[in-house]
Every structure is written in C-alpha cells, then in structure tokens.
C-alpha cells in the first residue's frame, strides 16, 4: 500500500527511485563483485550528493532534520537495486555522531563524503557470540576484536560501540588490523582487531555508552530491514515479469494457480512488512524506542526476503540455478543482509525475551 508522504518525502522517494535505478542494478553489483570491490564508490558519491545521509542529522549540525523514516525511503530503493553502498552504516554513524554532539568536524566530513565512518559493533543477540573488546581508560586504547563488520576495507574510521564505550578509531591507526572475508553477494564481513589501538575520540562512556549503543543497534536493525524490504519488493517484481512472459504448455506459467498463489504470498509479505516498518519508524523518529519492535522488523524482513528469493528461484526454473541470471544475486544479497545485525532466529528470540520473559 502507498505511504502517506508529505511533499518533501514524496520528492525524496522519487529521487531515490531514479538514483538507485540509474546507479545500481544487478549488473553493476556483479561487476563490483568480480572486481572484489565491496563498495560502489561512484554510486556512493551520488548518494552523498543527493544528501541522503543528511536526512538523519538535525539542521544545526549540518543535516536536513528529517528522520529515519525519510532515510528509509532511500534505503528501500537501495535494497531493491542492490546498490552496494554503506548507506545504512554511514547513516547510523552520522546519527550517533549527531546525538553525541562530540565530533562536529568528523560528522561534517562524513556528510561531505570526505571520510567514511562505519560502525564496528556487535550485540550478543545477533548470534555467534558477543563483542570481545576492552577499553583501557588510562591509555585511552582498545584491546580485543569486533567481528562481522561490513565495509571495513572501505572505511576511514570505525565507530566502535559497546555497552562500555562509544568512540572513534582510525582504520590506519597503530594496533588496528582488519581481516576481511568476502560474502556470497560481493559484500564483505571483517574482523577488526585492536591491540592497544588509540581512540581518536571518545563519544560516550558507561551508561551513556550503553544507551547510545543500544539505540545504534536498533537503528542498524531497522535500516537493514528497509534494505531487505526493498530487496523482497524487487525480487517480487522481477518474478512477476518472468512468470507473465515464460511460456510452458502453450501458455504463460503465471496462469497456473500454484505459481499465482506463491506470487500473492510474496506480495502480501511485502505489503505487511512495509506497513510494519514505517509504523515502527514513525515511532522511532518521535523518540519512542521499542527494541522489541526493531527486532520484529528485522526478523520479519529477513524471513520474507529469503522466502521471496527462494520462491523466485523456484519459479525461474533452471535458469535460476545459473550464475548468469540476476535472480541468484538477489538470493545471495538476501542471505548477506538477513544475517547482518542478527537474523530471523536471533531477533525472534530477542523479541520473545523482551516481550514475554520466562518467569523463574
């Protein structure tokens, strides 16, 4: 269903559709994967110029004073066109920097596109263990590691966030080592190791750090959820086109009821998830934080994107099993984004803990 948008939001949504279609697309994503680039630098420049990052930063801090709702209009299109840019990550970093108010020049660089800052953070509920990171207040240095950090090879600065500290560390600082593994879609997940690595700046400590990190996790889950929603919507459109055209037994396979019902279920998932996401985002922007709702969004959008891409592969038949057809890339992208910042299983369990704690 359509969203009720104000004029500014409608303009943003339209420009996002145009930009993502012009700069993204599976062909482009495939070329980047072949060249071992986890990030599309040209598309990123266009995203910076379009001011998408500024949506989540208030005007006095150099932003547009909109919200995550508005950013998500763009994220949905980025997801739909497999735009390989760190939009969710850089926006999350910008939002945290703006909230802390401690590093205006770093924020300005990030918004101008001259320095890329991505979060290096981990929640216990995202699976595969918690962050193992210690802060030495005396030396103001970090020891330990943070795993599964996206876009680490392209980042200039890491926004390190734990329950004890939120701070900035330069990627090239002494004692920082980045070990990168490619993912199936061409993205990367890195382990960033810190051995007495100096913090360039501390943004928050103690309870303030815990609150900021928790909000950052919520932001990342919602932003990734928006990309997954767009990915599922894009998959649905490609699949509809395919089953309307592909002929077997003398008629389009989209005339068969079994395939029609699969397509309808994909459509319903997209519709429900869009309503859920935007409802939760409106609350988020109004300052109401519902961690359980963020988990609901990430669980459901992860599940739906995987279900949609699997159904799409089945409906594409043998060509879906090839590497040359685009639909397989959508499946791989869904896998990567669904696992990022906690998958369906992780977030469903977290939702359960947050909403219905087991009585002892």
Partner 1 sequence: MAWDNTTLFVDDDPADRAFRAEVRDWIAANAPTELCNRPTRIDPPELKPWHRRLYERGWIAPHWPKDHGGMGATLTQQIILFEEISRVGAPTPYPHGLNFIGPLIIDSGTPAQKARHLPPILTGDVTWCQGYSEVGAGSDLASLQARAVLDGDHFVVNGHKVWTTNGHFADWMFALVRTDPEAKPKQAGISMLLIDLKSPGVTVRPIQTIKGDAEFAEEFFVDVQVPRENLLGPLNEGWRVANKLLGSERFTTGHPRNAAVLLNKAYQVAELTGAGRTPGFRQKLASLEIDLLAFSAYYRHAASLHGHGKAPASMAPVIKIVGGELGQRASELLVEAAGPLGPQAEDLRLGNLALNPAGEMFEMRRVTVGSGAVEIQRNIIAKRVLGLPSA
For the record, the structure tokens of 248 come out as 């077997």
Give least dist CB 203 to partner 1, A.
29
The residue within the footprint of partner 1, chosen from 293, 335, 336, 337 (CB under 8 A), is 293
For the record, the structure tokens of 16 come out as 């996002």
CA gap 357, 352 in Å, rounded: 7
Q: Which is nearer to partner 1, 340 or 347 (CB)?
A: 347
Give least dist CB 214 to partner 1, A.
17
The residue within the footprint of partner 1, chosen from 2, 35, 105, 324 (CB under 8 A), is 2
Give least dist CB 255 to partner 1, A.
4
Read off φ and ψ for residue 196, nearest 5 degrees. Answer: 60, 35
Give least dist CB 221 to partner 1, A.
13
The CA angle 301-191-151, to the nearest 5 degrees, is 55
Q: Select the span of 25-33, 65-73, 109-117, 276-284 touching partner 1 (CB under 8 A).
A: 276-284
The residue within the footprint of partner 1, chosen from 55, 81, 100, 273 (CB under 8 A), is 273
- In this structure, are strands 201-205 and 132-136 parallel, antiparallel, or unpaired? unpaired
Q: Does 292 bind partner 1 (CB under 8 A)?
A: yes
Interaction mask 229-268, partner 1, x per CB under 8 A: -----------x--xx------xx-xxxx--xx-xxx-xx
3-state secondary structure of 232: helix
Report the b/e string of 263-302 with b at 16+ CB within 10 A. Answer: beebbebbeebbebbbebbeebbeeeeebbbbbbbbbbbb
Q: Does 1 bind partner 1 (CB under 8 A)?
A: yes
Give least dist CB 291 to partner 1, A.
12
For the record, the structure tokens of 224 come out as 């990734």
CA gap 122, 146 in Å, rounded: 7
Q: Which is nearer to partner 1, 143 or 265 (CB)?
A: 265
The residue within the footprint of partner 1, chosen from 276, 291, 310, 325 (CB under 8 A), is 276
Cβ within 8 Å of residue 302, ≥6 positions away: 225, 228, 337, 338, 339, 343, 344, 347
Enter the DSSP assignment of 359. Answer: P
Q: Select the span of 120-128, 133-141, 295-303, 334-342 touching partner 1 (CB under 8 A).
A: 295-303
CA distances from 276 to 186, 326, 346 (A): 29, 28, 19
Which residues contact partner 1 by CB under 8 A? 1-2, 4, 240, 243-244, 251-252, 254-257, 260-261, 263-265, 267-268, 271-273, 275-276, 278-280, 283, 290, 292-293, 296, 299-300, 345, 348-349, 351-352, 354-356, 358-359
């Amino acid at each position: 269903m359509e969203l009720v948008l104000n004029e500014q939001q409608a303009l943003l949504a339209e420009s996002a559709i145009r930009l993502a279609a012009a700069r993204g697309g599976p062909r482009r994503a495939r070329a980047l994967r072949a060249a071992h680039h986890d990030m599309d630098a040209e598309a990123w420049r266009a995203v910076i110029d379009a001011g998408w990052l500024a949506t989540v930063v208030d005007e006095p801090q150099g932003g547009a004073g909109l919200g995550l709702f508005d950013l998500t209009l763009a994220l949905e299109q980025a997801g739909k066109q497999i735009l390989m840019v760190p939009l969710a990550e850089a926006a999350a970093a910008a939002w945290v920097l703006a909230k802390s108010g401690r590093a205006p020049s770093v924020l300005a660089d990030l918004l101008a596109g001259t320095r890329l800052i991505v979060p290096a953070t981990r929640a216990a509920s995202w699976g595969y263990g918690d962050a193992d990171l210690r802060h030495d207040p005396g030396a103001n240095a970090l020891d330990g590691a943070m795993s599964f950090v996206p876009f680490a090879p392209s980042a200039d600065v890491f926004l390190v966030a734990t329950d004890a500290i939120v701070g900035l560390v330069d990627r090239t600082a002494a004692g920082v080592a980045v070990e990168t593994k490619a993912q199936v879609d061409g993205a990367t997940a890195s382990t960033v190791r810190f051995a007495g690595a100096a913090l360039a700046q501390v943004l928050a400590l103690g309870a303030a750090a815990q609150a900021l990190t928790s909000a950052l996790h919520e932001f990342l889950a919602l932003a990734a959820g928006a990309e997954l929603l767009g990915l599922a919507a894009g998959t649905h459109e490609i699949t509809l086109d395919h089953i309307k055209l592909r002929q077997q037994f003398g008629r389009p396979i989209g005339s068969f009821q079994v395939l029609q019902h699969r397509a309808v279920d994909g459509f319903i998932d997209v519709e429900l998830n869009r309503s859920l996401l935007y409802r939760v985002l409106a609350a988020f922007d109004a300052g109401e934080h519902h961690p359980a709702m963020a988990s609901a969004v990430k669980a459901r959008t992860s599940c739906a994107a995987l279900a949609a891409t699997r159904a799409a592969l089945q409906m594409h038949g043998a060509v879906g099993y090839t590497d040359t057809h685009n639909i397989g890339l959508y499946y791989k992208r869904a896998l990567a984004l669904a696992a990022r910042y906690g998958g369906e299983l992780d977030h469903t369990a977290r939702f359960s803990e947050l909403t219905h704690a087991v009585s002892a």
